[in-house]
Structure 1
Amino acid sequence: MPDRDAALETIQRELTAFARRARQKASQLHPDLSLVTYSMLDLVKERGACRAADLAAHFMLDKSTVSRQVGGLEKLGLLGRRADPEDQRGQLLRLTAAGEQLLADANEQRRRSFTERFEGWADPDVAAFAAYLVRYGSAD
């Protein structure tokens, strides 16, 4: 069991460091955006459009927090709103052209960073790491 405890300690430390690096990288891509706001933009892109309440539920955040984040993204010209065709009282959030471009640039920069980070790894090691990440992420 001590080996497992040591491994779990290492995993915790490394995932914490990974999260810190991700937050720092996010701020380098755009000084007004956080890792959370990038994640929100990614989810809106993935879904095509969604409500602010969907973001709050997905990220387990308070609606007022999401409202502030969405407002900031709108002021930056990265998100826009339109009436929900299924419920005229509701509004759907959609990426603007600037939001699409920002995400495309961010994804390209992340891809380059990952390519460099895994340069010395054998293909089977990269594939195994990817599989472990998927397995870890699906454990929720």
Structure 2
Amino acid sequence: MTPTPPTSPDGPPADEVGVLEGRLTDLWQRSRSSARERARAVHPRLDATAFPLLVVLGRHGPARPSDLGARLYLDRSTVTRQVDALERLGLVVRRPDPTDARARLVELTDQARTSLARSQEERAARWRRSLGEWDPADLARLSELLRRLAEAEIW
């Protein structure tokens, strides 16, 4: 007889949670490696830790540093260091916020916008090639499960 896997009082068997956590760790490590490659494609001296800030600016447009920190779950000092580094590389500029003269907005430069768009197009093409044979229902289900996981109170 096969032993019953241990369970937590409020959830799935503990070994299933461990497998899920392991899979997420693998995905996280692959994503970090991919971010390093994508960062270098945008600018050879771009640190991968600042790459998500560029992605947020590319998706949402100019933003205050405080808004960038909130979106990326980063503290103010980290955002400031990353924006400083991106500005030195010519990838972002700071300009006055037209709605509040005391505030500044961070904005992509044309160079960054072009390089980031090229990187995102290449990545999207890779995703389409890799997932092209997946059943659309499976993709929709996976997307829904990832949304639920992101909203779970485990982070």
TM bucket (normalised to shorter chain) is 0.7 to 0.9
Whether the aligned pair in 2 keeps the contact of 1:26 and 1:33 (CA below 8 Å) is no
Out of 94, 98, 102, the position equivalent to 2:111 is: 98
Matches within 5 A, 1:24-43: 24-29=33-38, 30=40, 31=44, 32-34=46-48, 36-43=49-56
Out of 110, 120, 134, the position equivalent to 1:121 is: 134
Alpha-carbon distance in structure 1 between the residues aligned to 2:131 and 2:66:
37
| Paired residue secondary structure (1:50) | coil
How many residue pairs get matched?
Answer: 139
Q: Given the alignment of the two structures, is residue 89 of structure 1 paired with residue 73 of structure 2, yes or no?
A: no
Matches within 5 A, 1:1-140: 2=5, 4-29=13-38, 30=40, 31=44, 32-34=46-48, 36-139=49-152
Runs of 4+ in 1 over 3 A off after TM superposition: none
Q: What's the offset of the Cα at 1:23?
A: 1.0
| Paired residue secondary structure (1:99) | helix
Larger helix percent: 1
Alpha-carbon distance in structure 2 between the residues aligned to 1:6 and 1:119:
31
2:47 maps to amino acid: L
Alpha-carbon distance in structure 2 between the residues aligned to 1:37 and 1:53:
15
Alpha-carbon distance in structure 1 between the residues aligned to 2:15 and 2:121:
35
Alpha-carbon distance in structure 2 between the residues aligned to 1:62 and 1:137:
20
Alpha-carbon distance in structure 2 between the residues aligned to 1:97 and 1:8:
44
Higher gyration radius (CA) = 2
Q: What's the offset of the Cα at 1:88?
A: 1.3
Q: What's the offset of the Cα at 1:115?
A: 2.2
Question: Structure 2: where are the runs of 5+ without partners?
Answer: 6-11
Aligned Cα root-mean-square deviation (Å):
2.0
Give the structure-1-normalised TM-score: 0.85
Give the structure-2-normalised TM-score: 0.78
Alpha-carbon distance in structure 2 between the residues aligned to 1:5 and 1:120:
32
Q: What's the offset of the Cα at 1:16?
A: 0.9
Alpha-carbon distance in structure 1 between the residues aligned to 2:98 and 2:72:
24
Question: Structure 1: where are the runs of 5+ without partners?
Answer: none
Alpha-carbon distance in structure 2 between the residues aligned to 1:60 and 1:132:
22
Q: What's the offset of the Cα at 1:120?
A: 4.2
